[in-house]
A = this chain, B = another copy of it.
Amino acid sequence: MKKQNVSEAVIRRLPRYFRHLTELNQAGVVRISSSALGKSMGLTASQIRQDLSCFGEFGQQGYGYNINKLLHEIGNILGMQAGHTAVLLGAGTLGRALIENFDFEWSGFHLMAAFDVRPEMLNQTVAGVPVLHIDQLEGYLKEHPASVGILTVPKSVAGAMADRLAEAGVKGIWNFTNIELNPKNEDVFVENVHFSDSLQTLSYMISEDV
């Protein structure tokens, strides 16, 4: 199965399936029909069957999906068993919020270290993660290759930091800086969390028809 044949819309629904199935699993549900899964997610049964058929054969006609098995398979498709590693750049309030609250391991990532420039941040650990000086980035990544660099730095240095990460060999950048990044190395994937896009969409939804 080649990835380029799967639409981005389908890919972006996979983590939602993973979340829902995890919740069902935790609630003790063992097996679910595509129509029941669809109902709980606001999708049609045929949409779900169509999405999953992009990746192979799951479930049995008339028997629904074994939740444990489907979870494992979706996790596998998402690369969650691939042993991904990450470093975080910018241990400010948002960076620390991610380090302290976000469950990287649940998503299949090991967060190895954070980097900053402010002397008061350095040589300490945040929730067990060491904070190093940004000058150490390239040396550190040579010893500890990272799959992904997380950018929670100020906008003004976002582009330069993205280039350094790409240069040092990360495969992806998780970008919280609200800047569109175009790292020089075009093989690096950039995934954006644009808070303002999300809030402005909500603004649209709650505003009167114009």
Query: Which residues of A come within 8 Å of B, CB atoms?
Result: 1-3, 11-12, 14-16, 18-20, 41, 55, 76-80, 82, 84, 92-94, 96-98, 100-104, 106-109, 147-148, 171-172, 174, 178, 180, 189, 191-210
Contact = CB atoms under 8 A, between A and B. Distances in A.
Q: How many copies does the complex hold?
A: 2
Given A93-B97, A109-B199, A195-B193, A206 B19 contact: no
A24 to B, nearest CB: 12
A172 B77 contact: no
A156 B50 CA distance: 33
A93 B96 contact: yes
Nearest to A95: B97
B189 A78 contact: no
